Amino acid sequence: MTEITHRFVRSGSGLRMHVAEAGEGPLVLLLHGFPECWYSWRHQLTALADAGFHAVAPDQRGYARTGGPAGTDQYTVLHLAGDAVGLIDALGAERAVVAGHDWGAPVAWAVAQMRPDKVRGVIGMSVPHRPRSSRPPVEAMRGLFGDGFYMVRFQQPDLPEAELDRDRAATFRRMLYATSGDGPAPALIAPPDGGFLDVLPEPEKMPGWLTEDDIATYVEEYAESGFTGPVNWYRNLDRNWELTAAWHRAPIGPPALFIAGDRDIVAVGSRDAIDSMTDFVPNLRDTVWLSGCGHWTQQERPAEVTGAMLAFLRDL
């Protein structure tokens, strides 16, 4: 089996980033989501390498072994896209296919939109590209879902990461299970007198795609950095809206692929955006729906996700 190796790379943005990588060939950059790290791509790293690609999964800014700056304002989408573009350069590639899941998907879409010269193709998972909204997103989400909605709740200082860091094994176990195809897919709205994790039940037994060893690995990867950096991404939602005015309704030109589970609460709640995505992603080659799959796309259905990715990559 192909070996996954690890090293630190200084991105052109100046951030020292931990990367997991495998294989040689055209670069495929794999951007994880929340609350994950490079490990969420463990299946694709080896499979893409075996197929003749250089697969690289960084810990993104604020996460796991990469860590990041203390300032909350250092986690905007411009920083995140800059890290990815800088990493392409630092890895010696002129261009890359950029794939992103969950929070990694908006970063991948942003890289393809802002720097199409660096992108051979873009793959989004779970989160479709959405054109910039007409008003700040936190205000809109508060109006729709209330203060308990997790993205609104994450705007608070200190409290969100304190809850998530209190028992990291329980945090990963409950989050990964509850919003998977095996879980209850709860509304992510904290009760008035409780916390975000209160709506995420502990599994009676672990689903087949997730083991206690996987949970232990996530806990170990977060040992140094914790959850402050990851939550800071959410604290920049309105700032991102302000900073991306220049790209308002700008199309994404590179060839694109979208993959999602039909039990993913994020994707199911975004059906209108997914159905109309070609309005702003005119070169969308395919939308792949995975039956019975929840939010953790590439972990829940590794073979199907890898197969869809390879078909797209070879078509390029």
pLDDT in tens, 13-27: 789 999 999 999 999
pLDDT for residue 103 = 98
Q: Burial, 49: exposed, middle or buried (Cβ in 10 Å; 0-12, 13-18, 19+)?
A: buried
pLDDT for residue 283 = 98
pLDDT for residue 157 = 96
Homologous superfamily (CATH) for 5-315: Alpha/Beta hydrolase fold, catalytic domain (3.40.50.1820)
Angle at 263 between CA 257 and CA 269, to 5 degrees: 75
Specify whether 18 is catalytic: no
Of the candidates 54, 101, 129, 295, the residue annotated as catalytic is 295
Contacts with 97 (C-beta within 8 Å, 6 or more apart), sequence order: 26, 27, 28, 29, 119, 120, 121, 122, 123, 313, 316
> Rounded to whole angstroms, what are the CA distances from 161 to 17, 173, 226?
22, 16, 8
Task: Give percent of the chain above pLDDT 90.
Answer: 97
Q: What is the pLDDT of residues 151-208, one digit of tens each?
A: 999 999 999 999 999 999 999 999 999 999 999 999 999 999 899 999 999 999 999 9
Specify whether 213 is catalytic: no
Check: CB of residue 153 under 8 Å from CB of residue 224.
Answer: no
Of the candidates 83, 102, 182, 214, the residue annotated as catalytic is 102
Which helix (H) or strand (E) is 47 found in, with range?
A: helix 42-50
The yes-or-no verdict on residue 12 having pLDDT over 90 is no
Q: What is the pLDDT of residues 205-259, one digit of tens each?
A: 999 999 999 999 999 999 999 999 999 999 999 999 999 999 999 999 999 999 9
